[in-house]
Structure 1
Amino acid sequence: MVRPSTLKLTNKHGHDPLYYPIKAVSYTISHPSLLKIVIRIACIGCALALFILVVLLATALKPQAKWISSNLRWWSWPIAVCLVLLESTICAGLLLLVSKSKAQKNLFVATMRQEGLWRENEMVSLSTLKDFKLLGKEDIVKFITIPLQTIPFVGGVVNSAINATFTGWECMGKYFKAIKLPSRLERVEVFGVENSGKFSLFHSSTYDINNDYARFGFMCGFLESIPIVGSVVFPLTNAVAAALFACDIERGGGPVCLRKEK
C-alpha cells in the first residue's frame, strides 16, 4: 500500500482533478446564468424528492422494518430509514432524468463558452437522447455496488471509490463527444494505452488513485451520493466541473491520447 506522503500524482493536465467538483460549486454561484439553471432544476428536484420521501416514510417505512425483522428489533428501523432515503433518491432521479440531462448539457456548453474555449465551428453539442448510452461492462460494477448506497456517507465513499474511473469517464463524456473523440481513443485517454482493451474492468490500474479520471470521478460520485440533495444538485454542478476540467485539458493542448497520436 502506498503511503499518502510518498504518493506522487501525475496531474497530467496541470491541476488535481479531485478539486474540480468543489471548485464548480463556487464557480456556479459566481455566474448568475449558470446558477439560474441549477436553482430551477434543483428546486423542482428537491421538492419532488421531499414529496417522495414523505410518501415513502408514511407508507413504506414500517412494512420494510417489519420485513427486515419480524420482531421489530431496534436496528431494523435505522436500516429501513436508509432504504427509504435510497428509494426516494432513485425515484426522484428517474423522474428528473431527461430534464436533468438537458440542463447538464446546457451547463457544460455555457461554462466552456464562459471560459472562451468552446470552439463553435469544431465542437458539437450532443442531443439529450444521445446522452443515454447502452449498458456496458462498467455498469455491472455500478449495479453490484448499489447496496452500499444504503449506508449514508460511508457507503457513498466506498461506492465512489470503486466506481471512480468509470464515473469520471461518464462525466467527461460530453467533452469527448464534443471533440468527436473515437471510442477507442476515449479508452486510451481514460485507462492508458496498455489497459485500454475490452478487459480494462479487470485491470488494477483502472482503480488507481493516480488516475486523473478516477480522482475526478471519485469526488463527483461522492457528492452525488449525499442523500436527497446529492442526486438533485450535484449532477448539475458536476457538469460545470467537467467543463472546467475540459477547459484545462484544452489549454494544455487537448487530450493526452491525441498528443501521442500526433
Structure 2
Amino acid sequence: MSESRMRVPDKVKEVAKEDFGQAKQLASDAIRSAAYMYPFKGIAYFFTHRTLWKPLAAKLVPTISLGLGVTVLMFAVTYVPQAALLTIFNGPLALLTTVLLVLSESSTIFSVLSKNFLIDDALIDTFDGTLLCRNQTSLVSSERQVKSGSDPVGKLGKLVTKPFAKFTPSAIVRYFMYLPLNFIPVVGTVLFVILQGKRFGPTAHARYFQLKQMKKERKERFIEERKAAYTSFGIPAVLLELVPVAGIFFSFTNTVGAALWAADMEQGTQSGEGSTTAPNLRNQAELAKDRREL
C-alpha cells in the first residue's frame, strides 16, 4: 500500500512534466511560426492597397451602426451585474476583467449577426482580392470567376459556393462554457482569450481550405500540424476584434492577414509552425495521399 502511495506523486510529476513539455513545445512552435505577425501585416497591407477598401466601404455604415448598438446595449444591460459577480472572485480587478468580458460577449454577438447577415460576402471578396494582389489567380479561379482587368477586387466574378459556415450552435455553446474562466483573476481571462484564439485561427482560413478543395480529413490534418501557429494567429486577431466599433475594421484586416499567410504558404515562403520549407510540396504529398485513400 505504501509503495502504491509513493508511486502516485511520481506519476503526477511525470504527467505534469509531460504536459509542461508539450506546452513548451507548442509555445516554441508558435513563436517560430511568426503567424502572430499576420494580423498586423494585414493592417499594413490593407492601408497600402486601396482596392481592398471597397468591400468594407460598401458595408461600413450599417455594420458600424450594428457594432455600436450591440456594444452600448451590452454595457448598459450586463456590465453592472457581471461586475458585481466578478468582484466576488477578482476583487478590484473586476472592473477591468468585466470590461474585457463584456467586450468579448459583444464581439461574439456582433460577429454572429454581422458575418451571417452583413459582411460575409465582403469578407470573401477581401480574402480573394488579397490573393489576387499576391498573384494567386489560379487559386482563386478554382472557386469563382476571375475577370480580366488591373483592379484585383474589380476582377472578382461570381462565386461558385460560399465558404464561411454559419456560426454553429456548438461554437456558441463552447464560448459560454469558457466564460467562467473569467472568474479567475487575470490568468482566467488570459486563458479565455487563448482558447478563443485557438478556435479563431482555423476559422480565418475557411476560405483557403475551400479554395484548396480540402476534404474534411485533410483539413483536420492540416490544422493539427499547424495548431500552434493557428493559435498564435488567433490570439492577436481576437484581441483586435474585441476593440469596440473598430472591431469591424479589424475583421477585414484580419481577413487580409489570413490571406497573406495563405499566399505565403502557396509560395513556399512561410517557414514556421514546424512545417516544411516548401508548403507546395506538402500540399502535393497530401493530395497524393487523398487520392490513395479514395
Contact 2:208 2:262 in 1 (8 A): yes
Deviation at 1:42, TM superposition (A): 4.4
Deviation at 1:39, TM superposition (A): 4.4
Identify which of 123, 132, 135 aligns with 1:116.
135
Distance in 2 of aligned mates of 1:228 and 1:54: 9
Deviation at 1:118, TM superposition (A): 2.6
1:163-203 alpha-carbon deviations (Å, 9 max, x no partner): 434322111110010121111100111113xxxxxxxxxxx
Contact 1:38 1:237 in 2 (8 A): no
In the alignment of these two chains, the number of paired residues is 237
Aligned alpha-carbon RMSD (Å): 4.2
Q: Percent identity?
A: 22
Residue 239 of structure 2 is matched in structure 1 by 222
Higher helix share: 2
Deviation at 1:51, TM superposition (A): 3.5
**1:233 match: secondary structure:** helix
Distance in 1 of aligned mates of 2:125 and 2:216: 23
Contact 1:83 1:150 in 2 (8 A): no
1:9 aligns with 2:25: no
Distance in 1 of aligned mates of 2:284 and 2:31: 17
Distance in 1 of aligned mates of 2:284 and 2:171: 24
**1:119 match: secondary structure:** helix
State the AA in 1 paired with 2:120.
S
| 1:70-109 correspondence to structure 2 within 5 Å | 78=95, 85-86=103-104, 88-97=106-115, 98-109=117-128
Alpha carbons of structure 1 residues 175 and 31: separation in structure 2 relative to 1, 3 Å? same
1:240 aligns with 2:256: yes
Deviation at 1:130, TM superposition (A): 4.6
1:249 aligns with 2:265: yes
The TM-score normalised by the length of structure 2 is: 0.62
Structure 2 spans left out of the alignment, 5+ residues: 1-19, 145-158, 269-278, 289-294
Alpha carbons of structure 1 residues 80 and 220: separation in structure 2 relative to 1, 3 Å? closer
1:191-231 alpha-carbon deviations (Å, 9 max, x no partner): 13xxxxxxxxxxxx95xxxx22222222322322x242364
| 1:1-262 correspondence to structure 2 within 5 Å | 1=20, 8-9=28-29, 16-55=34-73, 64=81, 78=95, 85-86=103-104, 88-97=106-115, 98-119=117-138, 123-125=142-144, 130-133=163-166, 135=168, 140-146=173-179, 157-192=190-225, 211-224=228-241, 226-229=242-245, 231-252=247-268, 253-254=279-280, 256=282, 258-262=284-288
Contact 1:101 1:128 in 2 (8 A): no
